Amino acid sequence: MFSSDGMRQFTNQPRQIVGEALAGHARLCHPDGSGVRLSDPASGMRLIIRDDWRREHVALISGGGSGHEPAHAGFVGTGMLTAAVCGELFASPTVDAVLTALREVTGEAGALLIVKNYTGDRLNFGLAAERARQEGLKVEMVIVADDVALPDNPQPRGLAGTLLVHKIAGALAARGASLTEVAAVARRVADSCSTLGMAFTVGRHPGKAREQRAPELGLGIHGEPGARMLDMSTIPAGGEAHSMMDMVVTALLDGHARKEAARELPANGHLLMINDLGGCSALERGVLLSEALAHPSLQALGIHAVVGPQPLMTSLDMQGFSLTLLPLDESLESALVAECGPVAWPGVQRVKPLSYLNLEHVESRPSAPVSVQPATQAHSDPKADDDNGPVSDGQRADAVLPGDAQVEQKLNAVLETLLASEDALDRLDAISGDGDTGSTFASGANAVLESMECCELACGDAGQLMNCIGQQLARGMGGSSGVLLSILFTAAATRWREQGDGHPVKQRWHAALTHGVARMQHYGGAARGDRTLLDALLPALDVLDTASGCVDWAAMAQAARQGADATAEMTTGRAGRSAYVPAEHLAGHNDPGAEAVARVFEALADVAEEPAC
């Protein structure tokens, strides 16, 4: 359905979303073959209970308002929760619902209620516990208040640290520990873990517009105000994740140090849990993990194990994350790594030093031979014989490659144009693709530019130059475009060397590039008219194949521009990404690859003083 701000969501009726989501969850088995049972919707309650529960051990019950999935229903299963009691979105379940769950699962061993520190949850779960005790049931309750965002808050909120209580208490209960033992360890974990998060946006309720708020540090999982709003204009561009992680870690460690139960660091160090609050992509979670493990303060603290990064205790689709710290000892670590049924629990991973694969021994040798020449010879004789054979890595560092100032000027113009066009090409590609053409071509340009700055390009030898460009594009450009253009330049370099110096320069260039394009078409499968970069490249090469002995850069640029603009009228693509895009997304927009080629030839024409003969 559409929310009031026009954004699509995969929902039906907002009031039915919790029940529908739980019904889907209850239809799946855990890997161990067990599953869960769902209370009848007609009861007005939403209970999720293990279907293999025999009341032999201490029962663990948790819950609260929905909207934090997979918490809490996703953690019902062997080795974790026995039951979850779910309320409406961000609303505590009723006393009757909690009491019904207690009656359903509590045996002689008793039951432990694990409750996040929110007023509604404390009251409703607390009253249910009192009534259950009146009925003769053994019930204990542990309140989790792991939030450290507000130093003077007498009632810290319960956040993602609740899940660590689930896991550790669940493992102890599965081993047959008594209610007293399970409750004592659960309280110790609740008292010693610390959580703090930040978010760029709050979660969006189904069918409603997202509330517009500034990014905040320390906000709650219901969108409650945080410790402070963040001024993003003060964050260095290109370092947002690093800056956000530093803010969260600094505030988290300050709050963690204030906790009496966490002041003495056990010998086993700390566990770090990284929780996606609902709106982070997998790549963003990977960046957050990297930033956290590299943070000097966390390294000094001693992070020996990690849970996540995964969505664990979310806030609908809030774009943010939280970090939780828990001091470890052997007993807690043993409980955390114990097997459990729920697939929502991602497991505990040990932290190891970062190591890199050494590929020096498999570094490919350049297929084009590189000549070692004195600097004077390199510049005075650009056609010097290159039959001296390949050089070693050490020789290559001292080699002076043949140069050509005009070629360097043209190449620089092309690279600068591609870098300057990154955003424009990305926007054009976003209309019909995934918006990365500009960044892909910019990556290739940067790879070639780096080789130029390191004096690794033989601008005075066309064969060597094209071969090196092909290698750099294959390594640094990425995507299918990088491989295809690498094929073009590599094959063109091969044909250039095969022709020898006896052929006219213009004819030699045309033959080499035409051969390179043919090999690119052979592997890529595209042809003229398929709405690809070929629709700009081939017309430019047609101009090169004229009777004149001069290279008319302006005419080539004009042909490439006309070819690129013609792709806006092509509503059917037969190769490349356009082949998968509906016609209405193609009409009226140039193919981004063809547009990039046209801009390259226009850059070449701009720096060419006159036709080259």
Cβ neighbours for 583, distance < 8 A, ≥ 6 positions apart: 571, 572
Judge if the upstream peptide bond of residue 582 is cis by omega within 30 degrees of 0: no
State how far the Cα of 433 lies from the Cα of 419, in Å rounded to an integer: 20
Written as one string, the DSSP assignment of 414-471 is HHHHHHHTHHHHHHHHHHHS-S-HHHHHHHHHHHHHHHHHTT---TT-HHHHHHHHHH
d(CA 489, CA 156): 63
Q: Copy the structure tokens of residue 543.
A: 């101009």
Question: Using N-to-C axis directions, what is the helix angle for 479-499 and 437-453, rounded to 10°?
Answer: 50
Q: How far is CA 137 from CA 102, 134, 181, in A?
A: 8, 7, 17
Q: For strands 194-199 and 59-66, give the pairing.
A: unpaired
Q: Helix (H, G, I), strand (E, B), or coil: what is residue 326? A: strand
Tokens of 467: 């071969």
Number of other residues whose CB lies within 10 A of the CB of residue 556:
22
**Separation of alpha carbons 574 and 581, rounded Å:** 10
* Ramachandran region, residue 395 (left: φ > 0; alpha: ψ -120 to 50; beta: rest): alpha
| CA–centroid distance for 77 within its chain | 29
Q: Give the separation between CA 222 and CA 226, rounded to whole angstroms.
A: 11
User: How far out from the chain centre does Cα 59 lie?
Assistant: 38
Burial of 111 (0-12, 13-18, 19+ CB in 10 A): buried
Q: Which residues are known to be catalytic?
A: 222
- Paired tokens of 104: 């359903």
**Cα(264)–Cα(277) distance, integer angstroms:** 29
Cβ neighbour number for residue 500 with a 10 Å cutoff: 8
Amino acid making up residue 514? T
What Å distances lie between residue 586 and 80, 432, 582, 583, 610, CA to CA? 52, 6, 7, 5, 36
Give the helix, strand, coil percentages of the chain, each rounded to 5: 45, 15, 40
Cβ neighbors of 355 (< 8 A, separation 6 or more) are: none
Q: Could you give phi then psi for residue 162, rounded to 5 degrees? A: -55, -35
**Tally of CA atoms within 13 A in the half-sphere of 511 that contains its CB:** 14
94: three-class secondary structure by DSSP: coil
Residue 81 pairs in a beta bridge with 76
